[in-house]
Homo-oligomer: A and B are copies of this chain.
Amino acid sequence: MTAAVQPSRTAFEQPAPPGETDTSALDAIGALPRETLGERVTGELRSLLVAGRLAPGEKLSLRRVAEALGVSMMPVREAVSRLAADGALEVLPGRAVRVPVLSLAQFRELTRLRLVVEGFAAEEAARQATPADIDRIVAFDAAFRQAASADPPDSAAAVAANRDLHFALYEAAAMPSLIEMIERLWLKAGPILNLDMRHEPRRLEGGSAMQAHARLLEAVRRRDAPAARAALEDDIAAAAAHIKETGQLRA
C-alpha cells in the first residue's frame, strides 16, 4: 500500500484559456513532462537495477511490484516487458520474472563490450567536452572521493556518484544513441557490479577507482583522447577483475 507513484492524475492543473491570443507567458513553460505510468515504473526499476538493489537471481512478481508501487499490474507489465527486451530482466518460460544471473562467459563478454563502447565514448568526450561538462565531472568526482574516503565508506553514495561521474563523461560526447547503448550495458552489469560494491565497500579503500578517475579527468582536461580511453579502460578492468575474484558468477 505504499503510495510511491501517485501524482499522475492531479498533474493536469493547467487551465489553458482557449480564446486567448498567445502571450509571452505561455511558451515560457516548456512542454510539461506528461510521463506515462509505465515509463515511470520503468525508470524506477532501472534505477534499482543499476544501483544493485535488486540482486541477481532475485524473483519479481508483477502483482507484488504493482502493489508495492501503488499502481495496477498493467504499467508493471509494460516496464518488465521493456526491461526483458533489453536483457535487464528475464522471464522464465512458465515461472516468474527474475534478475538474470550472469555466467562467467557472459560477464567477460559484457566487460569486453564495455571496453570497446565506453572507451570510444571516453575518446569522443575528451575531444568534445565543454568547460561546463568538465565542471560537472569534477563535481561528481569530488562526491565520489568524499563517499569513498569516509569512514565507514558510504557505499550507496559512492555507487550513485560513480554512475553520475561516468555518465557525465559520456554525455560530453553528445551522442544520444551511444548513451543508450551504455545504459543498456550498465543495466546488465549493474546488479553484480554494484551489489558487490554495496556489500564490500572495502574495495573502495584500494583507491584504484579514485586513481583512474583522476587520470581520466586530467586526460579530458588536456583533450588527450587516447589517455582518456586508457584511464577508463583501467577503471573498468579493475572493477571487472575484482568481480571475477569474488566468484559470484555462474559456471
- A binding-site residues for B, Cβ under 8 Å: 12, 14, 31, 34, 38, 42, 77-78, 81-82, 85-87, 93, 106, 109-110, 112-113, 116-117, 120, 175-178, 180-181, 184, 188
Report the minimum CB–CB distance from A107 to chain B (whole Å).
10
Determine if B178 and A109 form an interchain contact, defined as CB atoms under 8 angstroms apart: yes
Question: Which chain B positions have C-beta within 8 A of A113?
Answer: 175, 177-178, 181
Residues A106 and B38 in contact, CB atoms below 8 Å apart: no
Chain B residue contacts of A110, Cβ below 8 A:
177
In the complex, which residue of chain B has the Cβ closest to the Cβ of A14? B93
**B87, A177: Cβ atoms closer than 8 Å:** yes
24 pairs, CB–CB < 8 Å, chain A vs chain B? A12-B93, A14-B93, A34-B93, A42-B85, A81-B82, A82-B82, A82-B85, A85-B85, A85-B86, A87-B177, A106-B176, A109-B175, A109-B176, A109-B177, A109-B178, A110-B177, A113-B175, A113-B181, A116-B116, A116-B120, A117-B117, A117-B181, A177-B188, A181-B184
Tell me the nearest residue of chain B to A31, going by C-beta: B93
The answer on a CB contact under 8 Å between A175 and B112 is yes
Interfacial chain B residues near A31, Cβ < 8 Å: 93
Nearest B residue to A12 by beta-carbon distance? B93
A187, B123: Cα distance in complex, Å: 26
- A81: chain B residues at CB < 8 Å are 38, 78, 81-82
Q: How far is the CB of A62 from chain B (nearest CB, A)?
A: 13
Shortest CB distance A119–B (Å): 9
Given A78-B81, A86-B85, A120-B116; A106-B12 close (CB under 8 Å):
no
> How far apart are A67's CB and chain B's nearest CB, in angstroms?
21
A14, B184: Cα distance in complex, Å: 23
The distance in angstroms between the C-alpha atoms of A188 and B175, with both chains bound, is 15
Which B residues touch A117, using CB under 8 A? 116-117, 181
A82 contact set on B, CB distance < 8 A: 81-82, 85
CB A8 to nearest CB in B, in angstroms, measures 13
